[in-house]
Structure 1
């Protein structure tokens, strides 16, 4: 016969074990949630699509490191889909290092073929003193030129450029010609990252749209959108018969009923297949469980095509053609007080009451193409100044033709296109 007290004790023990197991699971769950929040904070992840990919487990732990002269580079995690690769990393200072100014990277697949695409050199720690914080976290990425099959291994060649100086100090010393070779260093790393293909099996979602946006008789053809786990690509075409050059579709976004997905992936906006065709990159709604998806915009920024060219007689320092009424050529100069203080360059100074920019490429009298030495901008209270600097020693024939590449002329017409 079982003692009553023994039964009660047994029940209490089982209850405690069950509660402990529940508490353990609950604690693990909370830790996981906190970990994801911390991950986004530590690596400065503000891309909604990548945040959802991480939250959905579409990410692989790596923890591969290499050290050069007391500066350790670690690949912590990686995300791979057919159109984008995101690498999360840590730089650790084990000796006496200061400011990392640039990171350069090249990626290769298992066949030693380069993985090509658009990259961004942006870093979040350029003026962070590694002697004080000892380590920094960030990410880099590639928006792939073409779809790829998930590789089984990725080789990464990484170069870190280090300086002893903050950005402001660096510029001041460079301008004073007092920079020494010993003030800057480069460190190179090669890491081989095995890829767990099972993690990255998610398939892209393709939506054919075939809609036309007509804004002031300027046609924009919206062909299709492909939603990958970390990026959505929207394929559009500008009608070749448009009378205006469309510089931008204003406030272009993807949206559901309660969330918007922004245009641009870490400052990478689009890839241009030709003069009229664009693939635009958006944050991805792939992991959002919504039945609806829309494309929204408020209008276009555009200028008549016959007003795009500005023709300047460099030798006689005067305008030959300028059809934008609020753009003025103020000076053509090669004097000592010019923008670059360099007599080997001409400086063209323009003024405009709104944002405007010129293409770096210009043409001469014979339609031969050249590139500007530099293009600069400054902003006054009620106008903008644009500096266009060209090399006097280049053998172009006068006059030269500049092309307006952006002009803040807004044509408002909101639109909303249903994707699904």
Structure 2
């Protein structure tokens, strides 16, 4: 989860895409009706003074797996069985074995505070927290059955803390009874978690309908002694070269809820390196811990440096660790700009013939992307930056985008432009291949 932060200014009906460092998870059709599928909604924030970093994973997909499709370890099942509200919430992290290990090791902090307004009960069930992030587990109960769609809106942490928020929206049946989800607080390096977190939010179908709605407020206690000092840091400083492109892996920090890997891309690279397809961490037993795919999966330090997040193996304490990868999505830096002629309704520049302009509507550009690469099966690309410019050089923000397999919608401001518009590619199904095999310890 862009991620981002910077998040949550987009409305659910218009979004089917994942922003920033995100991937798509396929869920069995048999449990489709039980799935709560959320999207990390977002847009780039205005830079604050003194902020060193901006989390740029702007949107990340949350998939809430059905109880029929998952199995929990006996340790987890026994631990949560006596805590109201937490047993079913464990399903929300079934996709992340690092978080499951945290539960196995009694790392969940029970909270159990709630408020009721207008037939809805919101309960903060518990939190998973370390020095890197806080995951807040919540339950929504439809007490009188009157509410059809209730999404989280205007979520914020009142405390002055260097962090960003990610949270999801859910699909609702007309007669829903209970919904569960998570809110993720991603801390910038060096940020301190207070003894209590003050959470505020609104509930409603969309931002417009919740403009004058009740403000919900929760004071969440945090047991800092439970996680203070729980991290391990490894200095790597190894450089890999793939098809002439250099990547340096500098440092890895292992926290109980995730791993952060600092990566530096050589500024002299001829290609823009977007994302690793299969970067993972393996131990001496062959157990693999991959990148985070449901939540914030990376944070940008500067143009050529970032932190990538992985599922955590903190509680396994492996004796040997290796970093492996075989392909990276990348594109020549000379091909990153796509120019759209608004008058002739055509593309003046594009990376290759696979990208085409389908149509131009009011405040929207419709693209098609032909892609038969098996590595991209079930993957939806966030093609463009949310900032674009016209021929005069004036910059604009695209607040919304939407995607489905092979289709991409890019929303633009309804105003007079000097054609053409220039859009910048931030991900594309072009690749470099090679073997990365680095020993971490």
Question: TM-score normalised by the shorter chain: which range applies?
Answer: 0.7 to 0.9
Q: Counterpart of 1:393?
A: 415
Q: Counterpart of 1:275?
A: 303
Change (3 A) 1:102 1:255: farther
Q: Counterpart of 1:126?
A: 171
Structure 1 residue 279 displacement after superposition? 0.9
Q: Give me the CA root mean square deviation.
A: 3.2
Is 1:76–2:125 an aligned residue pair? yes
- Name which of 285, 298, 301 aligns with 2:313: 285
Q: What is the distance in 2 between the residues matched to 1:230 and 1:70?
A: 34
Pair member with larger Rg? 1
Query: Matched residue of 1:207: which SS?
Result: strand
Q: What is the distance in 2 between the residues matched to 1:387 and 1:137?
A: 29
Is 1:417–2:434 an aligned residue pair? no
Q: What is the distance in 2 between the residues matched to 1:346 and 1:76?
A: 41
- Does the aligned pair in 2 maintain the 1:120–1:266 contact within 8 Å? no
Structure 1 residue 97 displacement after superposition? 3.7
- Does the aligned pair in 2 maintain the 1:162–1:186 contact within 8 Å? no
Structure 1 residue 74 displacement after superposition? 2.0
Moved more, 30-39 or 276-285: 30-39
Query: Matched residue of 1:126: which SS?
Result: coil
Query: Matched residue of 1:407: which SS?
Result: coil
Structure 1 residue 408 displacement after superposition? 0.9
Change (3 A) 1:90 1:35: farther
| Deviations, residues 115-134 of structure 1 (Å, cap 9, x unaligned) | 343433225x53255x553x
Q: Counterpart of 1:303?
A: 331
Change (3 A) 1:88 1:273: same
Change (3 A) 1:67 1:251: same
Residue ranges of structure 2 left out of the alignment (5+ in a row): 1-72
Change (3 A) 1:253 1:72: same
Residue ranges of structure 1 left out of the alignment (5+ in a row): 1-29, 164-179, 334-339
| Deviations, residues 26-66 of structure 1 (Å, cap 9, x unaligned) | xxxx9965323765654322221221112212222222222
Change (3 A) 1:100 1:36: farther
Change (3 A) 1:34 1:372: closer
Work out which structure has the larger RCO, using CA pairs closer than 8 Å and 6 or more positions apart in sequence: 2
Query: Matched residue of 1:91: which SS?
Result: strand
- Does the aligned pair in 2 maintain the 1:68–1:188 contact within 8 Å? no
Q: What is the distance in 2 between the residues matched to 1:298 and 1:40?
A: 38
Structure 1 residue 239 displacement after superposition? 0.8
Structure 1 residue 310 displacement after superposition? 2.6
Structure 1 residue 409 displacement after superposition? 1.4
Structure 1 residue 330 displacement after superposition? 5.0
With normalisation by structure 1, the TM-score equals 0.73
With normalisation by structure 2, the TM-score equals 0.70
Moved more, 284-293 or 196-205: 196-205
- Does the aligned pair in 2 maintain the 1:118–1:268 contact within 8 Å? no
Is 1:365–2:388 an aligned residue pair? no
Query: Matched residue of 1:138: which SS?
Result: strand
- Does the aligned pair in 2 maintain the 1:246–1:300 contact within 8 Å? yes
- The count of residues paired between Structure 1 and Structure 2 equals 352
